[in-house]
C-alpha cells in the first residue's frame, strides 16, 4: 500500500481520496504543549501565546510518531520541512531505517524540501500526481526531485519574534518587523534558510512586491499555493493580483497549520509557486 506523509509544516491534515498522513511538530511553553494535529485550536494557541510572557519553542516529530504514520504502508513518500531549520528531516531518516528493519521489503523516500508551508504542499501534490500516472517508486522519486528544483517559496511576515526567539533568524532581521504596519518579505534560499529580501509598509506594497518576486523567479502559469495566518483578506488580495497578471495560474488559498501559524505569526502569509 502506498502512503504519502508530510510533517505538519505542510499545513495538511488529510487529503480526500488519498492515503495521506501528517506527523505533528509540537509548539511548547513552560506550561503547555500544543501538538500540531487535528485537535489543535490554532486561534486559541495564538491568543494564549500572545498573552504568555515566557519563552516558547518547537520540536520536531519524534521517531515514534513517524513510525506510527508509517505503519501499515509499504511504499512511503515522506516530505519534510527544511533540514536547515529543523531536526524533522533527520528524525524521519532515523524512522525510515528502523521501519526498514522490521519491514525489509518496504520502499521509503524522505524528501527534504529545503522549504516550508506551501512549497511542501506543492511537492505532496506532485508526488500524488506522479503516482496516479502509474510511475514506479524510483521514477516518482526522480521526477519529484526534478520538480523540487522548479518550486519556490516567498513570504511576508508581520512579526519575526518567534523565529528570532528560536534562533531561526538573527535578532537584527527580526527587529525590522517590529514596527507597526511593517512586513518583512523573504524567500527560502537554495540552502533552505530564511532569506529576507525587503521591508514593506502596507498591504498594497506587500502585494506589489510578491508579484515582482514571482515574476523575477520566472513564474508564468501553473500552481500557486497560498497559506495565511488569520489573514484571509491579504491572501485573497494576493490571489486576485496573481490571477490578474497571470490568468493561467491555478491559485489555492488555505489557512496555515499550527507550526506555520506559530512561526509566520498572525497576519503572516506564505506563497509557493512552480516555475514550469
Ligand atoms: O524542529 C522544529 O522545532 C521546527 C523549526 C521550524 C523553524 C522554521 C519554520 C518556518 C515556518 C516561517 C516563514 C518561512 C520561512 C521559510 C524558510 C525556509 C514559516
- Residuewise pLDDT in 10s, the chain (276 residues): 999 999 999 999 999 999 999 999 999 999 999 999 999 999 999 999 999 999 999 999 999 999 999 999 999 999 999 999 999 999 999 999 999 999 999 999 999 999 999 999 999 999 999 999 999 999 999 999 999 999 999 999 999 999 999 999 988 788 877 677 899 999 999 999 999 999 999 999 999 999 999 999 999 999 999 999 999 999 999 999 999 999 999 999 999 999 999 999 999 999 999 999
Residue 57 CA: nearest ligand 1 atom is 3
Helix and strand counts by DSSP (H, E) for the chain: 10, 13
Residues with CB under 6 A from ligand 1: 25, 58-60, 82, 85-88, 115-117, 153, 155, 168, 188, 192, 194, 260, 263-264, 270
Residue 175: per-residue pLDDT:
82
Residue 177: per-residue pLDDT:
74
Residue 114 CA: nearest ligand 1 atom is 18
By most ligand atoms within 8 Å of CB, the mutation choice from 79, 90, 168, 270 for ligand 1 is 168
Cα separation of 106 and 108, whole Å? 6
Domain ranges of the chain: 2-25+60-148, 151-274
Which CATH number is 2-25+60-148's, of 3.40.50.1970, 3.20.20.10, 3.40.50.10440, 3.30.2290.10?
3.40.50.10440
Residue 173: per-residue pLDDT:
82
Spacing, Cα 104 to ligand 1 middle (Å): 33
- Arch. (CATH architecture) of 151-274: 2-Layer Sandwich (3.30)
In this structure, what DSSP letter does residue 24 have?
P
Q: Do domains 2-25+60-148 and 151-274 have the same CATH topology?
A: no
**Taking the chain, what is the end-to-end CA distance rounded to the nearest angstrom?**
31
CA Rg value for the chain: 18
Residue 172: per-residue pLDDT:
79
Q: How many CB atoms lie within 10 A of CB 71?
A: 12
- Answer for the pair 10, 120: CB distance below 8 angstroms, yes or no: yes
**And the C-alpha cell for 21?**
498522513
pTM for the full predicted model = 0.97
Residue 114: per-residue pLDDT:
98
Q: Which residues are registered as beta bridge partners of 110?
A: 78
Residue 10: per-residue pLDDT:
98
Amino acid at each position: 500500500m502506498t502512503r504519502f506523509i508530510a510533517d505538519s509544516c505542510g499545513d495538511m491534515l488529510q487529503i480526500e481520496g488519498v492515503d495521506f498522513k501528517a506527523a505533528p511538530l509540537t509548539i511548547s511553553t513552560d506550561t503547555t504543549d500544543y501538538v500540531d494535529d487535528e485537535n489543535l485550536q490554532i486561534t486559541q494557541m495564538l491568543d494564549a501565546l500572545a498573552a504568555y510572557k515566557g519563552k516558547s519553542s518547537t520540536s520536531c516529530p519524534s521517531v515514534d510518531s513517524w513510525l506510527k504514520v508509517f505503519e501499515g504502508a509499504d511504499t512511503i513518500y515522506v516530505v519534510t520541512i527544511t533540514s536547515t531549520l529543523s531536526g524533522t528531516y533527520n528524525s524521519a531518516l532515523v524512522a525510515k531505517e528502523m521501519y526498514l528493519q522490521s519491514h525489509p521489503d518496504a520502499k521509503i523516500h524522505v524528501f527534504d524540501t529545503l522549504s516550508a508551508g506551501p512549497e511542501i504542499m506543492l511537492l505532496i501534490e506532485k508526488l500524488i500526481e506522479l503516482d496516479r500516472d502509474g510511475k514506479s517508486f524510483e521514477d516518482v522519486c526522480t521526477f519529484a526531485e526534478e520538480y523540487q528544483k522548479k518550486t519556490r517559496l516567498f513570504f511576508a511576515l508581520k512579526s519575526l519574534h518567534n523565529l528570532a526567539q528560536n534562533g531561526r533568524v538573527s535578532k537584527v532581521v527580526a527587529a525590522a518587523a517590529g514596527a507597526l504596519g511593517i512586513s518583512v518579505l523573504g524567500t527560502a534560499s537554495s540552502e533552505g534558510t530564511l532569506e529576507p529580501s525587503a521591508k514593506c509598509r502596507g498591504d498594497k506594497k506587500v502585494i506589489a512586491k510578491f508579484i515582482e518576486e514571482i515574476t523575477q523567479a520566472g513564474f508564468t502559469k501553473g500552481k500557486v499555493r497560498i497559506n495565511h495566518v488569520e489573514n484571509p483578506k491579504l491572501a485573497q488580495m494576493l490571489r486576485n493580483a496573481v490571477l490578474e497578471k497571470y490568468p493561467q495560474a491555478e491559485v489555492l488559498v488555505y489557512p496555515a497549520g499550527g507550526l506555520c501559524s506559530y512561526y509566520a505569526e498572525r497576519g503572516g502569509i506564505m506563497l509557493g509557486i512552480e516555475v514550469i
